[in-house]
Amino acid sequence: MSVVVDVQQAVCIHRTVDSEVVALRGADLLVEEGELVALVGPSGSGKSTLMALLAGLLRPSAGQVHVLGRDVARATEREVLSHRSQDIGMLMQGPERNLLPYASVRANVELAQLAARAPRAVRHRRAAELLEAVGMEAASRRRAGTLSGGEQQRVALAAALATGPRLLLADEPTSQLDRENAAGIAQLLRTARDRWGTTVIVVTHDAELGEAMDRRLTMRDGRIGTEARSGEQYAVIGRDGTVQLPADLADRFPAGGRARVVRRPDHIELHPIAADRDERS
């Protein structure tokens, strides 16, 4: 299995005229080929920023980002562009941002394949196949801008998968969909993995879509804190050895406080120390 995404200690700062927001503060992420990964976590925790970083839409302020063997921090604009058009399928947050509103549904799905230089017959066939898979074949000739948000999401996913990308990045792909259609999307992501070996990373608030993925990573404060897989919940140990405590322990371990670490043969214990009490051993 090869590594598709390798992010080490990524820091990402959004600068505006009058403020700086640290959206990622030392995020670590390792994803192997063919894995289906869900990124979950509260709004503002850095999920979309991490996705934009993986797509090469943003550069890290510090840290390392390797995607499909390419160093995103160092790649030229041109390299990033060719990478994105050929190897990466991307679905940005917000259904309307991914389609050309005046082009037909079918043209949108075919256009996505132009940059990857697919022959015409292949483009037609793929578009028809994918539109059927997302249940939008009957709307092939409609202008994308006339579709509902949910319909746009389905078409956008078809477009993102049209090149059979090695990596699919989908930010909230089911936010406008009802349960039945959302289940169809989860199924399609799995099919993409089985057919093309596509590695899938989705940001989602949809518990069912999350459950359908192999791994669920929870982001908090610009880092990945916990991971659930095969029914188990794990803390993620960062490159610098830090561990985020589960959010529900916040009242017992207040931020900035101290904890005594006791080493046991097969585990460690953390004992919170009240701020107003000095520890004596």
Ligand X SMILES: Nc1ncnc2c1ncn2[C@@H]1O[C@H](COP(=O)(O)OP(=O)(O)O)[C@@H](O)[C@H]1O
Binding site for ligand X (CB under 6 A): 14, 16, 21, 23, 41, 43-49
CB of 281 to ligand X, least distance (A): 40
In terms of CB distance, is 24 or 192 closer to ligand X? 24
- Residue 49 binds which one of Mg ion, ligand X, none, with CB within 5 to 8 A depending on kind? ligand X
In terms of CB distance, is 49 or 113 closer to ligand X? 49
Cα(142)–Cα(154) distance, integer angstroms: 14
CB of 221 to ligand X, least distance (A): 10
Q: Is 174 in the site for Mg ion (CB under 5 A)?
A: no
CB of 202 to ligand X, least distance (A): 12
In terms of CB distance, is 190 or 205 closer to ligand X? 205
In terms of CB distance, is 113 or 218 closer to ligand X? 218
CB of 58 to ligand X, least distance (A): 9
48, 108, 198, 218: which one contacts Mg ion (CB under 5 A)? Answer: 48
- Residue 61 binds which one of Mg ion, ligand X, none, with CB within 5 to 8 A depending on kind? none
CB of 49 to ligand X, least distance (A): 3
Full 3-state SS string of the chain: CCEEEEEEEEEEEEECCCCEEEEEEEEEEEEECCCEEEEECCCCCCHHHHHHHHHCCCCCCEEEEEECCEECCCCCHHHHHHHHHHCEEEECCCHHHHCCCCCEHHHHHHHHHHCCCCCHHHHHHHHHHHHHHCCCHHHCCCEHHHCCHHHHHHHHHHHHHCCCCCEEEEECCCCCCCHHHHHHHHHHHHHHHHHHCCEEEEECCCHHHHHHCCEEEEEECCEEEEEEECCEEEECECCCCCECCCHHHCCCCCCCCEEEEEECCCCEEEEEECCCCCCCC
Cα(266)–Cα(94) distance, integer angstroms: 46
- Residue 2 binds which one of Mg ion, ligand X, none, with CB within 5 to 8 A depending on kind? none
Stretch of residues binding Mg ion (CB under 5 A), selected from 45-53, 65-73, 125-133, 157-165:
45-53
In terms of CB distance, is 53 or 109 closer to Mg ion? 53
The size of the interface with Mg ion (CB under 5 A), counted in residues, is: 3
Which residues contact Mg ion (rule: CB under 5 A)? 47-48, 93
